[in-house]
Structure 1
Amino acid sequence: MLCSIHKGTCSACVAAAGFLSLVGVCLLYLPDPFALEPRVSVSAQERPVTLLIWTHPFGRHQTLPDCSALRQVGGCTLTADRSAYPRADAVVVHHREVATGAAELPPEPRPCAQKWIWLNYESPAHTPGLWRFEGVFNLTMSYRTDSDIFLPYGYLIPRVRGAKHVPNRSTHPLHSPPRSHLLRPRLLAWVISNWSESHARVALYRQLRRYIQVDVYGSAGRPVPEDRGGGGGSGSVVRLLGRYQFYLALENSQHTDYITEKLWNAVLAGAVPVVLGPSRENYERFLPPEAFIHVDDFPTVRGLALYLLMLRRNPSRLRRHLDWRGGYSLHRPALWAEHYCAACRATRRTRGRTDVVKDLTTWFRS
């Protein structure tokens, strides 16, 4: 589903004297991808489609969703049974498995009018062998806003005043903290599972810790405390970050639109994210400008550290980074259920079209 982006009037957002100065409101709002079009309904003239999940991402099998119940997408049959290949309207192929040789591509020749969908949520730096798949796929699905089927790691939904929140495991109302809860017990945390000295984020951390205390969790630090239920995962990280004022949401590489769950964990926990990834302008397509602190806002790492310490001493300045929350809910698409439903919807919408993606490598690395 090619997502149209609605752009609001944008004032200048500038950094001055080493501190972030926010002028006006800059926000390129990304609406709910499933709300961009009217609900797709089944009619006598339009038969349902079958979507074959060729490779489960990273080999982790899961129960396939009911798209009608999950995202109000009707007329979709999902299956992981490869015997359905001859009659499938589209086949979803996760890049990692076919690129590493863990799985082969579906057999050729493909059934008439069948679409192959390229699914990938890794950054270009961690997406090998793209050249092998030039001219193979018909649709792309990723975190990039210019994908044929766009679904990011998370996105904000403006709250309508007076509207009641319908409980949903993936959608979370955000709240501005009351004055009595503005300051948190701990200052700055970083959770990291993939430590590499070649990453810019590791170099940043080594400089930052000279000026400010950074509590490190994960493979390179203390273990993340598990939830009481023992489930672990992002829920444990969010619970941990609830104790901290700031969080280092540092991506493993810097690429267009590559903004992962690291950012959204911080947003959900109410910690102000300090981000390293694409440009500030790119982040502002997903968030209000005051919702995060970009490392590029500061000429030096020392300037960044001083700004964080200043905010700690000045709650009124800190509040600028948190007051925006009252107007939004956060939606974090369920992996990979919502992705399959988005792919199924796109398959129905593009029925009969089998255009080929000719420049996969150039596009994804651009």
Structure 2
Amino acid sequence: MAAPRARRRGRRAGAGPRGAWAAAGLLCAALVALACWAQLPPAPPSPPWAPGAPRPPVGVLLWWEPFRGRGAAGRPPPDCGLRFGLRGCRLLTDRAALGEAQAVLFHHRDLVRAGAPSPDGAGEAAALAALAAAGARPPGQRWVWMNFESPSHSPGLRGLRGLFNWTLSYRADSDVFVPYGRLRARAGPGDPPAGPLPPLARKRGLAAWVVSHWDERQVRVRLYRRLSALLPIDVFGRGGPGRPVPRCGLLHLLARYKFYLAFENSRHRDYITEKLWRNALLAGAVPVVLGPDRANYERFVPRGAFIHVDDFPSPAALAAHLRFLDRNAAVYRRYFRWRRRFAVHLTSFWDEPWCRACEAVQAAGGRAQVVGDLAGWFES
């Protein structure tokens, strides 16, 4: 991975929904004490180790385990060498080891939620503020803002201006880029394809959609309503017309369908989630995508591997195209040509961000920076 690069943060975007989470205000107040470390001291002129001597391992502390809402000390850290062939990383979960870390990862959703009052009147954000105010943050330590939600679901951004040194997210212009998934080139004939592709005879359904948060106001729900009047679409998940995922498992279920509706909950740059990578490409269904524009998808996926809703003037035209592909097997199979050259890699949010942050520290050396307008960049 290339060394993290300084860049212009985007201009400040318009204010989000008024009062987005009352906890955001508490977060701002709790984190104001962190401004004391917004400007890092200059890097030392030479490394603290002797020339030619092996460099000490890079310590990276994970403050919260992403998407679990608790500290990361609940299970042993991964081995970056075994997982990614990356040596020289010391992954930390004990917050008492703060002084030993060259970088600390803070997951945004947990950071904002921690700003809310807890039963005992304290909160994680307040504890962090007290920690920084007490001067417990070592000079030169990088604090990394980590987020995998879209701007539409990331409240409290404006309270974090100038407080972090790096960004880690699915955005390709993050300091540490960790997408939800990617296509990797197959190493050779022995490298398996992107997942089991059942014969067409086993694809008994036309289209499927898995949705966990049903909201009639969302573009994706409105589009589903129009398409479902024209096509048979099976919906799974919580809310709306969804049914429970059967015991065979998600991938086996979706492999029975020709198409998968990879509809994102909001449309933002580079916000392409497991709906594309796992539910469609890995499962062996052709993705019908709703998210950023086609050009954005084509930065990561071959243009002939997916169907974009923007390519059609109406839901009726899209439905007609899907019916055409259903009747023409040879044309339908063209959407799987990418599997000859690529396999799907799914990101593990437990170990991959952690190890990639270590790799970034190794590559960056002593160079320091401060993320100024975090909200303006992320919402652009």
| TM-score, normalised with respect to structure 2 | 0.78
Secondary structure of the equivalent of 2:124? Answer: coil
Q: Report Cα offsets for 1:126-155 as digits up to 9, x if no partner.
A: 000111111111111000100000011110
1:118 aligns to 2:145 (yes or no): yes
Mapped partners of 1:161, 1:98: distance in 2: 43
Indicate how the Cα distance of structure 1 residues 271 and 88 shifts in structure 2: closer, same or farther if over 3 A, else same.
Answer: same
After superposition, where does 1:37-56 map in structure 2 within 5 Å?
Answer: 44-56=53-65
2:155 aligned partner, one-letter code: P
Q: Report Cα offsets for 1:264-290 as digits up to 9, x if no partner.
A: 121011100100000000001111111
Secondary structure of the equivalent of 1:70? Answer: helix
What is the CA distance between 1:350 and its match in structure 2? 1.8
Q: Report Cα offsets for 1:149-177 as digits up to 9, x if no partner.
A: 00111100122444x33xxxxxx622795
Give the total of aligned pairs: 313
* Residues 238, 244 of structure 2: 8 Å contact kept: yes
Mapped partners of 1:3, 1:124: distance in 2: 25
* Residues 3, 150 of structure 1: 8 Å contact kept: no
After superposition, where does 1:203-218 map in structure 2 within 5 Å?
Answer: 203-218=222-237
Percent identity reads: 49
1:242 aligns to 2:242 (yes or no): no
Which among 226, 236, 241 is matched to residue 247 of structure 2? 226
What residue number does 1:257 align with?
A: 270
2:83 aligned partner, one-letter code: L
CA RMSD of aligned residues (A): 2.1
* Residues 269, 292 of structure 2: 8 Å contact kept: yes
Mapped partners of 2:152, 2:266: distance in 1: 7
1:197 aligns to 2:224 (yes or no): no
Q: Report Cα offsets for 1:180-213 as digits up to 9, x if no partner.
A: 5377211000110011122110010111111111
After superposition, where does 1:1-366 map in structure 2 within 5 Å?
Answer: 44-58=53-67, 59=69, 61-100=74-113, 101=115, 103-104=124-125, 105=128, 107-108=131-132, 109=135, 110-162=137-189, 164-165=190-191, 173-174=193-194, 181=200, 184-220=203-239, 221-227=242-248, 236-265=249-278, 266-366=280-380
Indicate how the Cα distance of structure 1 residues 136 and 301 shifts in structure 2: closer, same or farther if over 3 A, else same.
Answer: same
Q: Report Cα offsets for 1:220-271 as digits up to 9, x if no partner.
A: 31100134xxxxxxxx221110110000010000000000001012101110
Mapped partners of 2:94, 2:322: distance in 1: 52
Mapped partners of 1:157, 1:70: distance in 2: 15
Indicate how the Cα distance of structure 1 residues 175 and 113 shifts in structure 2: closer, same or farther if over 3 A, else same.
Answer: closer
* Residues 2, 147 of structure 1: 8 Å contact kept: no
1:142 aligned partner, one-letter code: S
Mapped partners of 1:124, 1:226: distance in 2: 34
**Consecutive unaligned residues in structure 1, runs of 5 or more:** 5-42, 166-171, 228-235
Secondary structure of the equivalent of 1:255? Answer: coil
* Residues 2, 149 of structure 1: 8 Å contact kept: no
Mapped partners of 1:3, 1:317: distance in 2: 43
The structure with the larger Rg is 2
Secondary structure of the equivalent of 1:173? Answer: coil
Of Structure 1 and Structure 2, which has the larger fraction of its residues in helix? Answer: 2
Indicate how the Cα distance of structure 1 residues 226 and 48 shifts in structure 2: closer, same or farther if over 3 A, else same.
Answer: same
What is the CA distance between 1:324 and its match in structure 2? 2.3
Mapped partners of 2:200, 2:340: distance in 1: 15
Secondary structure of the equivalent of 1:357? Answer: coil
